[in-house]
Amino acid sequence: MAAAQNSTRLRPPVLILAFALLLAAVLLGILVGPVSIPPAGAIVELISRLPGIDLDSGLTIRQTDILWQIRFPRVVLGALVGATLALAGAAYQGVFRNALADPFLLGVAAGAGLGATIAFSQNGGGGPLLPIAAFVGAVLAVGATYTLGRSPGGRSTVTLVVAGVAVTSFFTALQTYLQHRSEIDLRSLYSWLLGRLSTTGWSEVRTAAPYAIAAAVVILLHRRLLDVMALDDQETASLGINPSRVRVWVVLAATLGTAAAVAVSGLIAFVGIIVPHTVRLLFGVSYRRVLPLSCLIGGAFLVAADVAARTVVAPAELPIGVVTAFVGAPFFLLVLRLNRKST
């Protein structure tokens, strides 16, 4: 029993490796751009902002402003959104016992997009109501998908995915209708829908962080229970765990995190599929490992994807949702094929 329990534990070297990957992506994100910033100077400038440390980075005022008001907020936002989407994807896969569950396949992102579009139509850029509206839309969407995904034998992979596709199509149709009926800046809205990490200082980070952190805390506190949820509901209940209660808390937390991410970054697909499955392939299937590693590696992945979005067609910029879809669509097909072979 002790050996089995130890095999699911997250070992410090693996955690350090994931942190190092995230830090490397963050450093790459703040260094890449039209204005050159010396790597050593950037690192010293970041360290100098720590309490009790006063160092001269040698950067000019212009370079310092670019670092702290443009690049670093964007990188932090990318890490926050990537971590949240990856964590939400892993959480959905755990509670639904479905390897293909993901914020986008379940219609959650489409629901959040509809709520955000309503906020756009009522208040220009959405304002403080944007994450709240996105959350309400996301909850309605995941509830509809979960209800429609019922079948006589339970919720299979096929029925859940088909229900998610149907809900996504319906919410997307409503969203398109609102776009044509309301006085919305369509260029800004479409830019948001395709996914972007453009920032105006730290406001987007401050908007999303409270919701994302609250969602992450709830999900990570349930990581041991998600391992037990791999059993069917009767076996789970026989161990003294209420599966319905666990499912409600985890789904609400994952939906809150997804809504917050969508509200500030638009629709960025496939992060919740790519990252958790990569973690499982490399480090094992226990959620004691999958959840924290998905959080760290998800942040690193989206920051790296944003660097690619900024550089591939420079000086223009690709929507980051295009980059993640380019990587994620083939990966999804691979996961679907492997999942069919295992059933």
How does the average pLDDT of the chain come out, rounded? Answer: 84
pLDDT of residue 27: 93
**Pick the residue with more confidence: 269 or 213?**
213
Residue showing tokens 């420079």? 314
For residue 92, CA distances in Å to 38, 107, 162, 164 come to 41, 12, 16, 13
CB 174 within 8 A of CB 140: no
pLDDT of 119: 80
Report the pLDDT value the prediction gives residue 124, as an integer from 0 to 100: 59
Q: What is the pLDDT of residue 286?
A: 93
Domain 81-342: which CATH class? mainly alpha
User: For the chain, how are helix, strand and coil distributed in percent, rounded to 5?
Assistant: 75, 0, 25
**CA dihedral sign, ordered 281, 286, 287, 288:** negative
Question: What angle do the packed helices 12-31 and 287-311 form, to 10 degrees?
Answer: 20
What's the average model confidence in pLDDT over 166-190? 78
Per-residue pLDDT at 49 exceeds 80? yes
- Report the sign of the C-alpha dihedral through residues 163, 167, 170, 173, in that order: negative
Higher pLDDT, 182 or 214: 214
Largest CA-CA distance found in the chain, in angstroms, rounded: 67
Block residue for tokens 């703040």: 30
pLDDT digits (tens, 9 = 90+) for 114-161: 887 888 777 655 566 777 788 888 888 888 887 887 755 555 556 777
Q: Helix crossing, 203-221 with 72-95: angle to 10°?
A: 30
Residues 6 or more apart whose CB falls under 8 angstroms from that of 222 comprise 91, 246, 249, 250
pLDDT confidence band for 341 (50 / 70 / 90)? low
Reported as a single tens digit per residue, the pLDDT across 289-337 is 999 999 999 999 999 999 999 898 877 888 888 888 888 878 777 766 7
Q: For the residues 268-279, what does the mean pLDDT come to? A: 89
Instruction: Tell me what the mean pLDDT of segment 68-89 comes to.
Output: 94
Across 93-97, 153-157, 247-251, 323-327, least confident range: 153-157
Do 246 and 95 meet the contact criterion of CB atoms below 8 Å apart?
yes
State the Cα–Cα distance between residues 292 and 246, nearest whole angstrom: 18
Q: Are 30 and 75 in contact (CB under 8 A)?
A: yes
Q: What is the pTM of this model?
A: 0.86
Tokens of 11: 């070992």
**pLDDT value at position 325?**
85
Kindly tell me if the per-residue pLDDT of 73 is higher than 90: yes
- Is the confidence at residue 187, as pLDDT, over 70? no
Residue ranges of the domains in the chain?
81-342
- In whole angstroms, give the CA distance from residue 10 to residue 298: 17
**Helices H / strands E in the chain, number of each:** 16, 0
* 8 A C-beta contact, residue 102 and residue 159: no
* Rounded Cα–Cα distance for residues 52 and 54 (Å): 7
pLDDT tens digit sequence for 189-202? 666 667 778 777 88
Per-residue pLDDT, averaged over 10-17, amounts to 90
